[in-house]
Amino acid sequence: MNRHIGTVVIISVLFFALGGVSAIAQQAETQRVLDAAEVFQAIIGIPEHEVPTALMRVTSGIAILPGVKRIGFGIGVQRGHGILLVRQSDGGWSRPLFLTLTGGSIGWQVGIQSADIVLFFRSRDSVERVLRGKYTLGVDASVAAGSLGREAAAATDQDLKAEIYSYSRTRGIFAGFALQGAALDVDYGANTAYYGKEINQPSEIWAGTGLPTPDSASRLQRAIAAYEKTLQ
């Protein structure tokens, strides 16, 4: 009898412990989405450094990776986590899909830095290729440093030739930069933790069938939609 009670207690402890781990993981992913919203609002909130209107109007997907760790000595390495939102057929934005970024780079500063990275995908095909597995920037798609300020204001659809335009923020200042050789991967564990359901196909998130839209996701969607309204 005592042995049976002991077994029940152990199972109960494990159950609640695992529940606690799950809740902590979900909180981490929620914070990642909130950080992404802050980064996006920062990049659009500096008038003299605005993102090209022409780029925003044709963007099919936006990847936001807050706090990417970069170690560079001429040739650098970086590792980070972020999210990707995709423009839907009705013009709105999808729930966030969680990603990881890993790889090398050339031309970054010597030392260790943390940077916020924003990628604007012009090509729907480029967005969908992210779903198929490891996706290498500059190899699977052309990447260019995004223009800012006066250059951005003068940009037209015809000037936008790359598939992806990239921006980085270090020390509070955004700048366009060339991100080459880094790989984007779907972060299945983070997707499962955030939505509370095992996600086997990234398209499940964009379709949204049976999935919640957490408040943090809604906040990010609203931030992007509100900015687009200012461009009309």
Query: Would you give the distance in Å from CA 151 to the centre of its chain?
Result: 25
Q: Are 108 and 190 in contact (CB under 8 A)?
A: no
Question: Whole-model pTM?
Answer: 0.79
Q: What is the pLDDT of residues 15-66, one digit of tens each?
A: 334 444 445 556 899 999 999 999 998 877 766 556 667 778 888 999 999 9
Strands (E) located in the chain: 61-73, 75-86, 97-106, 111-121, 135-136, 143-145, 164-170, 173-176, 182-186
Q: Are 169 and 115 in contact (CB under 8 A)?
A: yes
CA dist 186 and 147 (Å) reads 27
Q: What is the pLDDT of residue 112?
A: 67
Q: Are 103 and 185 in contact (CB under 8 A)?
A: no
Mean pLDDT computed over 187-207: 89
Q: What is the pLDDT of residues 149-168, one digit of tens each?
A: 444 444 444 455 678 888 88
Rg (CA), the chain: 20
| DSSP category for residue 61 | E
Q: Are 186 and 97 in contact (CB under 8 A)?
A: yes
Residue 215 amino acid letter: D
